[in-house]
Chain A
Amino acid sequence: MHVPARWTALAAAAALAAAALAALPATAQPAAPAAAAPFKVGYVYVSPIGDAGWTYQHDSGRKEMEKALGGKVVSKYVESVPEGADAERVIRELAQSGHQLVFTTSFGYMNPTLKVAKAFPKTKFEHATGYKSDVNVGIYNARFYEGRYLAGIVAGKMTKTNVAGYVAAFPIPEVVMGINAFARGMRSVNPKAEVKVIWVNSWYDPGRESEAANTLISQGADVVTHHTDSTAAVQAAEAKKVHAIGYHSDMSKYGPTAQLTAVTHQWGAYYTKAVQDAMAGTWKPGNVWGGLKEGMIKMAPFNPVVPKDTQDLVNKTAADIAAGKFHPFTGPVKDNDGKERLAAGKVITDADLSKMNYYVEGVQGKLPTSK
């Protein structure tokens, strides 16, 4: 069969290129340290680290862990890994390249983490905000709602219109319990307070978050908070000269006048302990849900306009929560249709919290997905 000249040329070119590439020097291996090789820890982030937000806090925690454990640990992160088919490859690559403990910091990594964990039984994995675990997969999360309750107290005291605006991403239980805790905190000091919610259906979309915040402000909200990943809501509040409560990170840089406080995530202590356990061989797959007590939630410094008695109340409530003396969801808890969800005196169980699919009294509207 006659092979046209151009086929031969093409094949030759391709072969040449392949040979050239294969001959490239392999990436230099890092020099092994004189002492025991450092423990390698991997992190998978769903968004860019940026300067504030969910991933920034995880990365701050990672840095704290590195600082605490010094040269014994070396960590690597991969950011902006989309949830979906590609995540599995990234998680796998971290396991493959010798990382012995891998933290996957977003719900959507749940199934890929489990799949990779099966293929790498000697590697340990920790998945944040998920609900499936395995012999080498632990899950961890933080009781953000505790901070929300405290934020609600501040909002309740500082509002003049008695309306707070909440820019929320998706109606999943974690977000809903945050809204509810915030509303309960507000109404514990201001029974007339109401919370309006706008769902933007995105974790990160500054344009929409800004529009949502402005809409809430135009509808009377003078305290704005959010459960989304950008600083847009706080910035919108600053521009419109109303109050704001940041989330994930201290956002006072973006809203110096507006931010009253922020509910910040602190992962450093948790990461340090988890890595230490893994290094010592005592790591076990856990189901950790820590809050104020474990230091996983911390309120940002108060804006000076917050009166001292409010600050004291918040601090005292925080201490009570940490000591186990008070739970933000202590009955009676009624939903905003008036139905009682929790009897007086009872404390909500973790299981019920994780399934929360209703608004409490004081939150306006209907949850988009409640049946």
Chain B
Amino acid sequence: MDQLAELLVLTLAAGTPLVFAALGELVTEKSGVLNLGVEGMMLVGAVTSFIVTAATGSPWLGVGAGIGAGAALSLVFAVLTLSLMANQVAAGLALSLFGVGLSAFVGLDYVSIVITGITPLAVPGLSDLPVIGKLLFGHNPLVYLSLALFAAIHWFLYRTRPGLVVRAVGESPQSAHAIGYPVVRIRYLAVMFGGACAGMGGAYLALAYTPLWTEGMTAGRGWIALALVVFATWRPWRVLAGAYLFGGVTLATFQAQAAGVSVPSQLLAMLPYLATIVVLAIISRDAVTIRRNAPASLGKPFHPG
């Protein structure tokens, strides 16, 4: 039983970077912008948070720096696509490439540094409870933060007026513009929010999950986050579930191995991507389903006439 609790804690920990990045991308896509640069933003967030933590000794300052760095990089993308009308796919790819290179470059001197990252807090008395203690109180503080972020985003998008506006902008920017909403500004904010979340996801990796810096340490998680948003049909709670599923796949293969069961790891690793394709086909297959799920203007440039 205790082992099961431990496994759940590990799964949540593994899925958390995806939760951050995918929730951020979800908000961006809800406003109608497709930002493929998640991987680059995560890495830039990771390296910035690591450097600031190493320099100041405060991992929480590092988290803040990571968030800021992700948002700053996404700003470049926003200017290109929202003000200069550049193609979103190309700009996102460029962002990814650039972010990977920039982070590797900037992080060169920090590859060997050891820092004290963010570790799970021990709540006196409560953490030691069998099973429940670990399950409820044994997580890294950033994991709790990710859950709070999920709740906040869900509430924002579906229970507040500004959230409704964001969704409206994503469905039909022309109509939103006609009503008088500042479509471009809203999209800017959505893109930067996505960047901030991606940066936080990167910071989590570098400060909490494996407290070190190494180039390319996100290992494709940014791309998985993109798939995750589609897999979750742009619904926050499905993003959460999917993130733990995707994140937990590797863990599952490891558990099997450690228990003596030999599983070809590549087959299992493929599953999340195949599943995403299937889901995509299912939700897109007719106009009604797709309108119900995907933001209609996703990826299309908007020019205020």
Q: Is the beta-carbon distance between A206 and B251 smaller than 8 angstroms?
A: no
- CB-defined contacts of A210 to chain B, threshold 8 Å: 209-210
Task: Answer whether residue B3 sits at the interface, using C-beta atoms and an 8 A cutoff.
Answer: yes
Contacts of B112 in A (CB 8 A): 50-52
* B260–A364 touching, CB < 8 Å: yes
* B251 lies within 8 A of A232 (CB): no
The answer, yes or no, to whether A216 is at the interface (CB within 8 Å) is: yes
Q: In this assembly, does A136 line the interface, its C-beta being within 8 Å of a C-beta of chain B?
A: no
Determine whether the beta carbon of A218 is less than 8 Å from that of B265: no
Instruction: Determine whether the beta carbon of A48 is less than 8 Å from that of B254.
Output: no
On chain A, the residues within 8 Å of B211 by CB distance are 235
Interface residues of B (CB under 8 A from A): 3, 6-7, 10, 14, 111-114, 119, 205, 209-212, 214-215, 217, 219, 250-251, 254-255, 257-262, 264-266
Decide if B258 touches A215 in the complex (CB within 8 Å): yes
Q: Let me know if B10 and A214 touch, CB within 8 A.
A: yes
Contact in complex: A232, B262 (CB < 8 Å) = no
Contacts A201-B265, A218-B10, A235-B210 known; A206 to B257 CB distance under 8 Å? no
7 nearest A-B residue pairs (beta carbon): A51-B112, A218-B6, A206-B210, A215-B254, A365-B260, A219-B258, A198-B257
Given contacts A206-B214, A239-B119, A253-B114, 10 further A-B contacts (CB under 8 A): A48-B214, A196-B258, A198-B254, A201-B266, A206-B212, A209-B210, A210-B209, A210-B210, A211-B251, A215-B10
Set of chain A residues within 8 Å of B205, measured between Cβ atoms:
207
Known contacts being A201-B265, A211-B250, A215-B251, is A231 close to B212, with CB within 8 Å?
A: yes
- What's the Cα separation between A216 and B250 when bound, in Å? 13
Q: Which residue of B lies closest to A367 (CB)?
A: B262
With the chains together, A165 CA to B266 CA distance in Å?
22
A230 in contact with B260 (CB, 8 Å)? no
Contact in complex: B14, A211 (CB < 8 Å): yes
Contacts of A253 in B (CB 8 A): 114
Q: Is the CB of B259 within 8 A of A219?
A: yes
Residue A122 at the B interface, CB < 8 A?
no
Supply 9 A–B pairs (Cβ within 8 Å), ascending by A: A198-B258, A206-B214, A211-B250, A215-B254, A231-B212, A235-B210, A235-B212, A253-B114, A368-B262
What are the residues of chain B within 8 A of A196 when measuring CB–CB? 258, 260
B113 to chain A minimum Cβ distance, whole angstroms, is 8
B147 CB to closest chain A CB (Å) equals: 20
Chain A, 39-57, CB within 8 A of any chain B CB: 48, 50-52
B212 near A365 (CB under 8 angstroms)?
no
The listed residue (A50, A207, A239, A366) touching B217 by CB distance below 8 A is A207
**Cα(A254)–Cα(B265), bound, Å:** 29
Interface string of A194-223 (1 = CB under 8 A from B): 001111110011111111101110110000
Give the residue name and chain of the B residue nearest to A205 (CB): B219
* CA–CA, A219 and B256, complex, Å: 11
Residue of B nearest to A220 (CB): B3
Q: Is the CB of B258 within 8 A of A216?
A: yes
Bound: A200/B253 CA distance, A: 9
Task: Name B254's contact: one of A52, A211, A230, A231 (CB within 8 Å).
Answer: A211
Report yes or no: A48 in contact with B111, Cβ–Cβ below 8 A.
yes
Q: Tell me the bound Cα distance from A201 to B264 in angstroms.
A: 10
Most buried by B among A165, A208, A211: A211
Contacts of B260 in A (CB 8 A): 196, 364-366
Interfacial chain A residues near B119, Cβ < 8 Å: 239
Binary interface profile of A, 175-205, with partner B (CB < 8 Å = 1, else 0)?
0000000000000000000001111110011
> Most chain-B CB neighbours within 10 Å: which of A197, A215, A235, A239?
A215
Residue in A50, A214, A215 whose CB lies within 8 Å of B111? A50
Looking at the assembled complex, report how far the CB atom of B287 sits from the nearest CB atom of chain A, in whole angstroms.
40
A232 partner residues in chain B, CB cutoff 8 A: 210, 212
Q: With A235-B211, A254-B114 as given contacts, are A218 and B3 in contact (CB-CB < 8 Å)?
A: yes
Q: Is the CB of B212 within 8 A of A199?
A: no
* Contacts A50-B112, A207-B217, A215-B10 given; does A365 touch B257 at CB 8 Å: yes
* A197 and B254 contact, CB distance less than 8 A: no
Query: CA A216 – CA B260 in complex, angstroms?
Result: 12
Q: Which residue of A lies closest to B10 (CB)?
A: A214
CB proximity of A361 to chain B, nearest CB, Å: 14
